[in-house]
Copies of this chain bind each other. A is one copy, B any other.
Amino acid sequence: MIESAIKERLVAALGAEYVLDSNESKLVYSYDATPGMQAMPDVIVFPGSTEDVQRIVKICQETGTPIVARGSGTNLSGGTCPLEGGVVITFQRMNHILELDEENLTLTVQPGVITQDMIKYVEKNGLFYPPDPSSMKISTIGGNIAENSGGLRGLKYGVTRDYVLGLTAVLANGEVIRTGGKLAKDVAGYDMTRLLVGSEGTLAVITEAILKLIPMPETKKTLLAVYEDMDQAAQSVSAIIAHKIIPTTLEFLDQATIKVVEAFAHVGLPTEAGAVLLIEQDGAPEVVDRDIEKMAKLCQELGASSVEKANSEEEADALRSARRAALSACARLKPTTILEDATVPRSKVAEMVRAINEITEKYGLEVCTFGHAGDGNLHPTFLTDARNTEEMARVEQAFGEIFAKAIALGGTITGEHGVGAMKAPYLEWKVGKAGIGAMRAIKTALDPHNLLNPGKLFSESAEGVFS
């Protein structure tokens, strides 16, 4: 609990209407989309400018108060759960698109802009912002930057990191830094822009961003390949890349996911199939046509029982939306869905899916696996019930084995969801003692009193968070 004097200072800095501490407000900001994680903040503040954020950070710094910056709280790693209480900074007021610069192909935004609104705005102007996390209807760009969000178009276009050119951020000491700019090239000192992208609010509070845009692809086509055997789907992924085609999207749904998604979305997915691939290509019409034909042929050659092109943008959109709804669809079946994002080199996708299925069986659990096959970024999603502590313990053991397997295959514990609190105990498995040491040194250098999102990324123990 923070002292009332601190709240009074925040009210004096921002005005009473922008400082909330009712129990209802605290409850609303006590959790994010991560199951089983909740902690009450002491106060929620609504800054209107970088200067407001500076005032907040300075008050927190002087009083040793934890700071958790937060977008829409869609993250799945407990990243915005205020584990040690303190001040939650939320960006509802700082939700403006500040400038579209068509000459330099940049967009300057405040952190509170909703990702999908921003993407639509950009597309209206014939331009393209590729990163499209599944949560984009709700998520904010500030949250995407803090988490280095991925999405379905990552295979061809990369992730959020690849589209952030510059940042304005408030450091733990209350100073403002401005990194990068409307620049394709900038090597003036360390790459602070990319150090802050994906730093999960632990190094600075981001208050403005310059994003890179690219021309809108002229056209896009969609393919659905159905397989009896999951291995054939995985082989198709490898074959497409080996034939030097990089499609926009190469999504994988396993049998369990197909059933769940079809029951939810009714888009005509073949519920008896072993796996499906949702494949998209965009670009110049000639190239898209050629690539789509080639990929259809490859999928057929590798044993797809059917390969169908979407006949219209509506049909394609229904398929995409169905895929994006996979998590929601799973969430209808059991009280708790725990979705992970272990990621492997793409050549190891089949092996990883098999391992997930074996591990699931071993622990007597129910899993749906889907994800970005082209990226090797899978989302094994356990259907469980947080109130069943015995089952949750098995889920945790299963995840431990999945992470270990992913690392053994040259992969990582998290491809796009972040470490947060959930995966902090496993970070060392990926980066090693020396890697953790280096990351901790950076954290301590920039935030010596551990005020920025404490309890995230780094864990004192190697134990899981459910236990």
Contacts and interface: CB of A to CB of B under 8 A. Distances in A.
A101 interface: yes
Nearest to A423: B188
Interface string A419-440: 1000100010011111111110
Interface string A76-105: 000000000000000000000000011111
Given A191-B197, A246-B215, A185 B415 contact: yes
Contact of A375 (B185, B197, B242, B457): B185
Contacts of A238: 103
Interface stretch (A65-73, A169-177, A252-260): A169-177
A446 interface: yes
A418 B187 contact: yes
Contact of A244 (B215, B414, B438): B215
A290 to B, nearest CB: 8
B345 A104 contact: yes
Contact of A347 (B103, B241, B417, B423): B103
Interface in A118-177: 126-127, 147-148, 150, 154-155, 158-159, 161-162, 171, 173, 175-177
Copies of this chain per assembly: 2
A176 B431 CA distance: 10
Contacts of A413: 188
Nearest to A106: B345
A110 interface: no
Contact of A187 (B241, B286, B417): B417
Nearest to A150: B185
Given A159-B185, A238-B103, A431 B179 contact: yes
A372 interface: yes
Contacts of A191: 148, 161, 194-195, 197-199
A284 interface: yes
A153 to B, nearest CB: 11
A28 interface: no
Contact of A346 (B103, B190, B242, B418): B103
Contacts of A412: 181, 183, 185-188
A103 B242 contact: yes
Contacts of A444: 445
Contacts of A186: 343, 412, 414-415
Interface string A3-21: 0000000000000000000
Nearest to A237: B103
A442 interface: yes
Given A185-B416, A215-B244, A215-B246, 17 more contacts: A102-B242, A104-B347, A105-B241, A106-B345, A178-B431, A181-B345, A182-B345, A184-B415, A187-B198, A187-B417, A189-B439, A190-B457, A191-B199, A194-B194, A194-B195, A195-B195, A286-B287
Interface of A: 101-106, 126-127, 147-148, 150, 154-155, 158-159, 161-162, 171, 173, 175-179, 181-192, 194-195, 197-199, 203, 214-216, 238, 241-242, 244-246, 283-284, 286-287, 290, 343-347, 372, 374-377, 410-419, 423, 427, 430-439, 441-446, 457
6 contacts: A103-B345, A162-B162, A183-B345, A191-B198, A191-B199, A284-B290
The list of the 6 closest CB pairs from A to B, nearest first, reads: A215-B244, A445-B445, A185-B415, A175-B434, A103-B347, A441-B445
